[in-house]
Amino acid sequence: MKFVIIGGDAAGMSAASRAKRNNPQMEVTVLEKTQDVSYSACGMPYNIADPLRDMDDLIVRKADVFRQKNGINLLTGHRVDKIDPVAKTVSGVIIPCSTSFSDLDNTNCTNSNQTEGYQKFSYPFDKLLIATGATPLIPNIEGVNLEGVMPLKSLEHGRVIKSFINSNLYSKPVKKAVIIGMGYIGLEMCEALRARSIEVAMVKPSSRFLPWMVSELADVVKQELNTNSIKIYSGYDIQRVVQADKNENKKAQSNGGSPLAVICKNLSSSEDLTLDADIVIVASGVKPCSQLAVEAGLETGISGEISVDKALQTSDDNIYAAGDCADAFHIVTGTKCWIPLALRANRAGWAVADNVCGIETFLPGVAGTAVFKVFELQVARTGLTVKEALNSGFDAVEVVIQTRSKAHAHPGSQTIHVAISGDKKTGRLIGVQMVGKDGVAHRINAAAVALHAKMTVADFAQTDLAYAPPFGPVWDPLLTAANQLLKKL
Amino acid sequence: MKFVIIGGDAAGMSAASRAKRNNPQMEVTVLEKTQDVSYSACGMPYNIADPLRDMDDLIVRKADVFRQKNGINLLTGHRVDKIDPVAKTVSGVIIPCSTSFSDLDNTNCTNSNQTEGYQKFSYPFDKLLIATGATPLIPNIEGVNLEGVMPLKSLEHGRVIKSFINSNLYSKPVKKAVIIGMGYIGLEMCEALRARSIEVAMVKPSSRFLPWMVSELADVVKQELNTNSIKIYSGYDIQRVVQADKNENKKAQSNGGSPLAVICKNLSSSEDLTLDADIVIVASGVKPCSQLAVEAGLETGISGEISVDKALQTSDDNIYAAGDCADAFHIVTGTKCWIPLALRANRAGWAVADNVCGIETFLPGVAGTAVFKVFELQVARTGLTVKEALNSGFDAVEVVIQTRSKAHAHPGSQTIHVAISGDKKTGRLIGVQMVGKDGVAHRINAAAVALHAKMTVADFAQTDLAYAPPFGPVWDPLLTAANQLLKKL
């Protein structure tokens, strides 16, 4: 049995390792276009924050360990350019280690440029896993390729950003950053850049800050950014990034100015906004790397992600997809969704390996549970927003409460904000969002489990959650929120 | 409708407040023997730790607020001595505020001594709630009534202990404490006493430290106590507490000695152990205050707790019981249990009020979820231990794992120890225990919800829990534990 995997990050390496554990005799080949495998991408902002840490600290296991200890035929620098589902082969070219970063990172994910002169390869497969991940959405604007403008997705992106900040490019330290986009990565990068004493402005076209979040909670996050001197410009079209010419640039620098500027236009007033920057981080979201699958005729979903069933199988019986390039069932709606997150990628990789090895495995799906840190604030969500719920046919109602993170009179207690929604027709819990400086990150998981169990709000309100004064009030914030919601159901 | 409540703490005041919210016209009378109502008993160790905090900070709402704002006929200093279920009356005596502490705190909870000379009362009821709580188990040994030997259960106990420590009794500061018992309260008191620079020794008869806890995890707790210079003597019979006579005492003090000594005998070697003490905290557990109920002919359970159905009704249709004096159904076994904890007391109080007001309410039961803090360590549990599970007819198996509280390479990551058990016959999750310095307290709740939902370990292992590097590894410790347990099921 030849099991071939395209992509050597979370889903790909999880699948490869588990397949070899399940069946040490299986021939498992991983084709990874970069030189990096198995790293903690989500850790990059925190690594960038600390000038003394090596970016390679984020590598969980080195390629040689997978090769020698796990017996995986792990081939880095192997860029797959084509899947032939009939001949059951994958083919591509071998990219030398010295190849420039941009060659590995074109946004169509297939890197189909630059094939000449490279050594070609072709591998037959019995079962194939596409685990090509996602790639940053780069706005199609002038100046996006200027030096100092960079996305953050792969480990190599992380290295480039960190070395840019560390190296005092332009003979002066990076003092000003503009982040294009206000998603998880952009928000996490705020803290990292402030830790490096860099001024930060964030800008994006849509007018609502954190549009998926209940406005009262989004305001708390915004306030935390304000407190930490982050400038927020929502509702601005990003028109271009410009670089002063060399002479002007030198002048600008001698005046303490920055070599780049992001030119924006206010979408409601049409006023111009110019944001000076020594570095521009492009964090406008990601798109699935599904071009190879599309070209092979596999079914895809509305965001272009590869469509898979609960066994992670694509529309071709011999081809699986897992990780950020593939979709999932949402456990609340039961319908397809594309929520590219790390746990799902790892879990889906395992499930593919099990299925390939004959251990039938079906994944129920995702709840869209996520947590991130914005300075001192913990921000978490699970399930649907009210808008998503209404769109999915639920008769959704919501309450938003404020309570405390610790018991009455216990020192160090912080405000916790909880938004909770339920379905008037069935009484089912639909979603929870939480924001606070203490005790949010893990609390959300109780709600996530309740969503998996399709619990009613009434049943959830009766759960026996832990209480001790240093950790919460007698009525956990989730229970208080559920009790309030019950009055509306 | 006359709704009478005996006891004005968590269950009693929750019931009274909710009844008045449900039905402002209802005549709600609370009869509380002490002068304290509605306080956070669990907060007492943390309050004692801080010499500057007033013990009355723990009062959530003062008696007058309940009277004036909520319209509750709250009668403090009213000790109920008898329930007549046929005549539907409760009767007792009014204890003046100046009455000594010990009069309010005899261990049979009925305080039937000292009735002469006090003003008597009798109240008729349509519905009665017994919310008399629990009382400390005081070992029947010589010297247990000496000055300086005290339990910690009521707010008045807390005041006495704190004022004893604050007041430099015997003209010298309290330097040495002995805690009899090693339950939640004893363990929490260790930290409080160490915060006051008091040396602490703990002693108890049973040989196993934290007998309900998986030994690997109990060892971690023990190590934390050792690190904080707590001396632990398990397997010692406590024979008596002695006080040096006044002259000897003075001599002892001038030599830096302590006025009390706890005399113990090693149960395996018969060797004597003498523990010097300026203060002895009796924390050997509690027993339900059910004497009134017993005398009224109500059914009780094996620990003497009042037996109630899911509507909190006792064996008498007009009498309910809630809080630490009453039992509950265990949601894992479906059978009765007595796990006196604060959330259940509050919740049961509400449910009684709803039922009394005609809003039919049934409580599913408890999972035995608990958390406590031992210095830097968070210790949590939910569900059954393996021993309990085997006794309840489950084919229980268990795994114990160690993992990290934060992502790979994230600073500040701590070890998390997880013990998880499941049933081989049905695959059901049975219980989880966790110990660690970071991220334990709220993580346990995800498992508690899974127990309520009667989830299998396989389904629990598929739940979509939150991930971000500052808050955990990609695979949450609970998921890693569940995945390991699956191999045994």
pLDDT reported for residue B171: 62
Which residues in chain A touch residue B368, judged by CB atoms under 8 angstroms apart?
A: 464
Q: Do A408 and B40 touch (CB under 8 A)?
A: yes
Q: Apex CA A176: angle with CA A170 and CA A179, to 5°?
A: 115
For A89, the token pair is: 């082969």
Contact A407 B344 (CB under 8 A): no
pLDDT of residue A109: 41
Q: Do A10 and B43 touch (CB under 8 A)?
A: no
Q: Which residues of B167-177 are buried (b: 16+ CB within 10 A; e: fewer)?
A: eebbeeebbbb
CA dihedral B476→B478→B479→B483, nearest 10 degrees, is: 140
Can you give the pLDDT at residue A116?
72
Taking an 8 Å cut-off on Cβ atoms, the answer to whether B346 and A460 are in contact is: no
Nearest to A369 among B366, B407, B465 (CB): B465
- Give the range among A79-88, A225-234, A249-258 with minimum mean pLDDT: A249-258
Whether residue B249 is predicted with pLDDT greater than 60 in this model: the reply is no
DSSP symbol at A12: H
Residue linked to tokens 């059910």: B290
Evaluate whether A264 touches A272 at the Cβ level (below 8 Å): yes
Instruction: Look at residue B123 and give its three-state secondary structure.
Output: strand
Least CA distance to A348: which residue of chain B? B462
Confidence check: pLDDT of B411 > 50: yes
Q: Closest residue of B to A39, CA-based?
A: B408
Task: State chain A's mean pLDDT as an integer.
Answer: 92
Those residues whose C-beta lies under 8 Å from the C-beta of residue A167, and which sit 6 or more positions away, are none
- With CB atoms and an 8 Å threshold, state whether B409 touches A43: yes
| pLDDT range class, residue A114, cuts 50, 70, 90 | low
The amino acid that residue B80 corresponds to is V
* B147-179: pLDDT as tens digits: 999 999 999 999 999 999 988 655 678 999 999
DSSP letters for B387-426: HHHHHTT--EEEEEEEEESS-TT-TT--EEEEEEEEETTT
Query: Does B58 contact chain A (CB < 8 Å)?
Result: yes
Give me the residues of A, 308-367, that contact B with CB < 8 A.
331, 341-344, 346-347, 363-367
CA separation, residue A270 to residues A206, A265, B433 (Å): 14, 6, 58
Chain A residues lying within 8 Å of B414, measured CB to CB: none
Contact A43 B331 (CB under 8 A): no
A52 token code pair? 């003394």
Asked whether the beta carbons of A186 and A151 are under 8 A apart, the reply is: no
Task: Please name the member of B40, B439, B444 whose beta carbon is closest to the beta carbon of A407.
Answer: B40
Which residues in chain B are contacts of A375 at CB distance < 8 A? none
Q: Report, as an integer, the average pLDDT of B101-125.
A: 65
Q: Is residue A243 pLDDT above 90, yes or no?
A: no
Task: Give the pLDDT of residue A113.
Answer: 56
Size (chain A), residues: 489
**Alpha-carbon span B210 to A447, nearest angstrom:** 30
Assess whether pLDDT exceeds 50 at residue B108: no
Judged by CB atoms closer than 8 Å, whether chains meet at A60 and B408 is answered as: yes
Tokens, residue B239: 């024979």
Residues of chain B with C-beta less than 8 angstroms from the C-beta of A447: 449
Does the beta-carbon distance from B58 to A409 stay under 8 Å?
Answer: yes
3-state SS class at A366 = strand
SS3 label, residue B309: coil
* pLDDT given for residue B103 in this prediction: 45
The first and second tokens of residue A459, run together, are: 């049943």
Asked if residue A333 lies in contact with residue A367, where contact means CB atoms within 8 angstroms, the answer is no
Identify which of A279, A47, A311 has the alpha carbon closest to the alpha carbon of residue A147: A279
Please give the span between the terminal C-alpha atoms of chain A, in angstroms, as a whole number. Answer: 54
If you average pLDDT over residues B317-336, what whole number do you get?
98
pLDDT exceeds 70 at position A112: no
**CB A459 within 8 Å of CB B364:** yes
Nearest Cα to Cα of residue B305 among B283, B329, B282, B332: B329
Q: Read out DSSP for A238-268? A: EEEEEE--HHHHHHHHHTT--SEEEEEEETT
pLDDT above 70 for A170: no
Judged against a pLDDT cut of 80, whether residue A168 lies above it is answered with: no
Residue from the list B42, B464, B475 with its beta carbon closest to the beta carbon of A469: B42
| Strands in A53-146 per DSSP E | 73-76, 78-84, 89-94, 119-124, 127-130, 134-136
ipTM score of complex: 0.95
Would you give the end-to-end CA distance of chain B in angstroms? 54
Q: Which of A460-469, B265-274, B326-335 has the lowest mean pLDDT?
A: B265-274
Percentage of the residues of chain A whose pLDDT score is greater than 70: 93
Q: Which residues of B touch A372 (CB under 8 A)?
A: 468
A440-454 pLDDT, tens digit per residue, is 999 999 999 999 999
Which among A442, A476, A478, A480 is the top mutation candidate for probing chain B, defined by the most B β-carbons within 10 Å of its own β-carbon?
A442
Comparing alpha-carbon positions, the chain B residue that sits nearest to A330 is B464
- Enclosing H/E stretch for B322: none
- Which three-class secondary structure string do you get for A264-282? EEECCCCCEEEEEECEEEE
In the predicted structure, residue A256 carries a pLDDT above the cut 70: no
Q: What is the pLDDT of residue B116?
A: 72
Q: Which residue's structure tokens are 């949601």?
A: B331
Q: Does A470 touch chain B (CB under 8 A)?
A: yes
Query: What are the φ and ψ backbone dihedral angles of A475, each rounded to 5 degrees?
Result: -90, 110
Asked if residues B179 and B203 have their Cβ atoms less than 8 Å apart, the reply is yes
What mean pLDDT value characterizes chain B? Answer: 92
Asked if the model's pLDDT at residue B111 lies above 60, the reply is no
pLDDT band at B98 (very low <50, low <70, confident <90, very high): low
Name the H helices within B263-370: 291-295, 342-356
pLDDT tens across A344-381, in order?
Answer: 999 999 999 999 999 999 999 999 999 999 999 999 99
- What crossing angle do the helices spanning A184-195 and A215-227 adopt, rounded to 10°? 20
Q: Per DSSP, what are the bridge partners of residue A397?
A: A422
pLDDT value for B107: 36
A291-336 pLDDT, tens digit per residue, is 999 999 999 998 999 999 999 999 999 999 999 999 999 999 999 9
Residue type at B25 in one-letter notation: Q
- Report the pLDDT averaged over residues B242-270: 74
Res. B110 pLDDT band, cuts 50 70 90 = very low
Q: Residue for token digits 């049961």?
A: B348
Interface of B with A in 28-57 (CB under 8 A): 40, 42-43, 46-47, 50, 53, 57
Is the Cβ pair A439, B443 closer than 8 Å?
Answer: no
How does pLDDT run across A147-156, given as a tens digit for each residue?
Answer: 999 999 999 9
Of B50, B460, B469, nearest to A42 by CB-CB distance is: B469
- Give, in order, the Cα–Cα distances in Å from A294 to each of A44, A299, A304, B35, B359: 30, 7, 9, 75, 58
Q: Which long-range contacts (CB under 8 A, 24 or more apart) does B410-419 make?
A: B410/A43, B410/A46, B410/B469, B410/B470, B411/A46, B411/A50, B412/B438, B413/B438, B414/B438, B414/B439, B416/B440, B416/B443, B416/B477, B417/B216, B417/B217, B417/B220, B418/B477, B418/B478, B418/B480, B418/B481, B419/B214, B419/B216, B419/B217, B419/B481
Confidence class for position B243, pLDDT limits 50, 70, 90: confident
Mean pLDDT, range B280-296, rounded to an integer: 97
B476 Cβ under 8 Å from any chain A Cβ: yes
Confidence of residue A14 (pLDDT cuts 50, 70, 90): very high
pLDDT in tens, B475-484: 999 999 999 9
Six-digit token string for A336: 């397809």
Q: Which residues of A are less than 8 Å from B445 in CB distance?
A: 442-443, 445-446, 463, 465-466, 476, 478
pLDDT value at residue B97:
72
**pLDDT of B197 strictly over 60:** yes
For residues B92 and B110, what is the distance between their CA atoms, to the nearest angstrom?
9
Q: Is the pLDDT of residue A16 over 60?
A: yes
pLDDT at B109: 41
- Cβ–Cβ under 8 Å, residues A167 and A271: no
Token pair in block for residue A408: 């009455």
Residues of B annotated as part of the active site: 42
Strand, helix or coil for residue B343: helix
